[in-house]
Amino acid sequence: MTAADAPTSQRTTPAGAPTAAASSGATALADGCAELAVALDIGGTKIAGALVDRRGTLRARARRPTPPNTPAPRSATRPAPPRTGPVSSGPEREAALRTGHGAPHPGMEPQPRTGPELEPDQGREPAPGPLRDAAPGLDAAGDEHAAETVMAAVTEVIAELARAPEWARVTRCGIGSAGPVDAGHGTVSPVNIAAWRDFPLHARTEAELVRHGAPVPAVLVGDGVAMTAAEHRLGAARGCRNALCMVVSTGVGGGLIVDGRLHPGPTGNAGHIGHISVAVDGAPCVCGARGCVEAIASGTAIAGWAAGAGWRAPTEDRSAAQVAAAARAGDRVALAAFDRAGRALAAAIAGTATLLEVERAVIGGGVAAAGDVLFGPVRRHLETYAALSFVRGLTVVPAALGADAGLVGAAAAAFELLPDGADHAP
């Protein structure tokens, strides 16, 4: 597909076009900053790219859908724990509805993955089983073909950006990818892109940049870390010395600000709060562990638990958005589903704050669009879990940036983590 054939949402945007970052107060003068970063936001539904200046303004952009890729078999080293039926009837369900706290312990029952989250492009989409190793029924050549099909979409995005007049001002590249990522080795193994296992995304991206006349350095971080960089630079965590930022969507990711700086960790995954266990005997998670925040509070988990507890969606396409609408209308099961998710999030936030003394938790992603239906339970349960004096002042706020947070954050990570002396642009 050529740029001319692409839908409007996939075409390169003229320089200075309005963006979500701009609408959130990240506007720049028409001439902008001279220095630009190539930003890539790679997930299970889309591969987006942009040229971004230091003020967070997107000067040009491109987008492609993530190509379908064959799912891989379960890891031989991390089998999925056996599943049992959800709490859909009996005393436990009645107790959950009476108290509004979900099951007696969040995550004790598994979450059927039934329906999309509120905004499919925001956040990471979990695979239907634990982390995968390779594509089923494929030989090495088949695996390589599937991996290259996905990489071809990345190269198309870079090629389209390279045709923008601003390309000559590129000095660096930031890559935000669904995880896990391994920044130390430059590889990615996204749960939602089964064809990529230890895929050398960093080296391949730098090679594509060179091919288009931009021999510049690149940095690789997880998508939650990229969102954190954006919110700290331009959004709801701006000015915070220590903060936790989260994406709650079909998956749950996050990142950390420590002592006023982005803290990606050695592999680029620091702050991955979605895979903190808040229920030691809880539901199996896609990562292979049990009781993870993602298995309880993601959009798919909320919709799945509500359906298992007797909530009936108005359409066959059950989603967290529909559960949120039902909760606003007073549906007891829907309210219990969000209370349960809020409880899990509060426990994880309080634990992180106790370890790192973060002053603010920022929650973005599709599920955060539920507003007070989500934030009300999170704040209420936080009063219980954040019990120590030095974490009682912790605040929980919604993210300020919109759908472009991943791109703005990938660029922000490049500007912060790559020293100016590292520039190699001609």
Taken in order 290, 347, 91, 114, is the CA torsion positive or negative?
A: negative
Q: CA nearest 369: which of 394, 337, 402? A: 402
How far is Cα 221 from Cα 209, in angstroms, rounded to an integer?
18
> To the nearest 10°, the Cα dihedral for 385, 249, 133, 265?
-60
How far is Cα 341 from Cα 352, in angstroms, rounded to an integer?
17
What local confidence, expressed as pLDDT, does residue 68 receive?
85
Q: Which two structure tokens, joined as six digits, stand for 402?
A: 């919109």
What local confidence, expressed as pLDDT, does residue 250 receive?
82
Q: Which two structure tokens, joined as six digits, stand for 333?
A: 């099961």
Residue 425 corresponds to which amino acid?
A: A
Q: CA nearest 124: which of 74, 64, 176? A: 176
How far is Cα 126 from Cα 151, in angstroms, rounded to an integer?
20
What local confidence, expressed as pLDDT, does residue 50 receive?
98
Neighbours of 233 (CB within 10 A): 24
What local confidence, expressed as pLDDT, does residue 141 receive?
54
The answer to whether the CB of 377 falls within 8 A of the CB of 338 is yes
Q: Which two structure tokens, joined as six digits, stand for 264?
A: 């990606």
How far is Cα 327 from Cα 375, in angstroms, rounded to an integer?
13
How far is Cα 299 from Cα 209, in angstroms, rounded to an integer?
36
- Please give the C-alpha separations between residue 95 and each of 215, 278, 310, 313, in angstroms, as whole numbers: 61, 20, 14, 22
H helices of 101-199, in order, are 140-162
Task: Tell me the HSE value of 44 on the side-chain side, using a 13 A CA sphere.
Answer: 24
pTM of full prediction above 0.75: no
Q: What is the DSSP-derived secondary structure letter of residue 134?
A: S
Q: Per-residue confidence of the chain (426 residues) as pLDDT tens digits?
A: 433 334 333 333 333 333 333 333 333 333 446 899 999 999 888 999 999 999 999 999 999 999 986 544 444 333 333 333 333 334 444 444 333 443 334 443 434 333 333 333 333 334 334 454 444 444 455 578 899 999 999 999 999 999 999 999 999 999 999 888 999 999 999 887 989 999 999 999 999 999 999 999 999 999 899 999 999 999 999 999 999 999 998 889 999 999 999 999 988 889 999 999 999 888 888 888 999 999 999 999 999 999 999 999 888 878 999 999 999 999 999 999 999 999 999 999 999 999 999 999 999 988 999 999 999 999 999 999 998 989 888 999 999 998 889 999 999 999 999 977 544 444
State the residue for tokens 């909320």: 302
